[in-house]
Each structure stands twice: as structure tokens, then as C-alpha cells.
């Protein structure tokens, strides 16, 4: 059944596929890949205890499919697991944290 799912998602767009998220610490970026397109969530580390989410981009072919939200979830989980406080220079990330109050305790 798993081998059929990519075929079904491609031919029946109402079946959602989740993006693959990867984190490149050297580049300070979370990447999301889906259907051959990519999104990114960049950050900086202004101090040892703070992560500043500075930029989010999602390819126009992926917009409206929850890709930015998926990157936000991964990035915020990373911050929490590392014991980091967050800054949100990126407007999307600030809006995401404002909408999801369970992350507000992470704000620097």
C-alpha cells in the first residue's frame, strides 16, 4: 500500500502528502521538500541560548499546503529540545507563535 501512496497523491491532489523536513545546522536552515519543490526556514544564533527565526520561503507550487507550518513545528520543537529561547524576526514565525500559544513560553 505504501508504494501506491505517492501515485495516489500525484493523481488525486485531495490526498495530502506531508513534506520531508531536514535541518542543516551548518547552514542554519530547516528545509521542506514535497513534490520536487522546496521551502526553507532560516535562522541565526545571536547567543548560545537564543535562536532567531529570520526568514521563511515556500515555493509557489507548495503554498497553501501547510509546508511553512510543518517547518515551524520542526523548528520550534528543535528550539524546545535544545532549551533555546526564540526570537521571531520573520513575520510568518511571529504570526505562527501568536496563533499557537503553546510556544509563547519560548519567546526571549
Residues 6+ away with beta carbon under 8 Å from 54:
42, 43, 44, 89, 90
Q: Among positive and negative, which fits the CA dihedral 88, 65, 103, 46?
A: negative
Taking the model in full, what pTM does it have? 0.83
Domain ranges in the chain?
Answer: 17-106
Band of pLDDT at residue 103, cut at 50, 70 and 90:
very high
The domain covering 17-106 belongs, at the CATH homologous superfamily level, to Gcn5-related N-acetyltransferase (GNAT) (3.40.630.30)
pLDDT in tens, 7-46: 444 444 555 688 999 999 999 999 999 999 999 999 999 9
Amino acid at each position: 500500500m505504501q508504494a501506491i501512496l505517492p501515485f495516489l497523491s500525484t493523481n488525486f491532489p485531495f490526498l495530502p502528502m506531508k513534506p520531508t523536513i531536514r535541518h542543516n545546522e551548518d547552514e542554519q536552515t530547516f528545509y521542506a521538500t514535497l513534490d520536487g519543490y522546496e521551502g526553507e526556514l532560516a535562522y541565526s544564533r545571536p547567543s548560545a541560548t537564543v535562536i532567531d527565526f529570520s526568514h521563511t520561503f515556500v515555493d509557489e507550487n507548495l503554498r497553501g499546503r501547510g509546508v511553512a507550518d510543518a517547518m515551524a513545528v520542526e523548528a520550534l520543537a528543535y528550539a524546545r529540545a535544545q532549551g533555546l529561547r526564540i526570537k521571531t524576526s520573520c513575520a510568518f514565525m511571529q504570526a505562527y507563535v501568536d496563533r499557537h500559544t503553546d510556544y509563547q513560553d519560548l519567546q526571549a
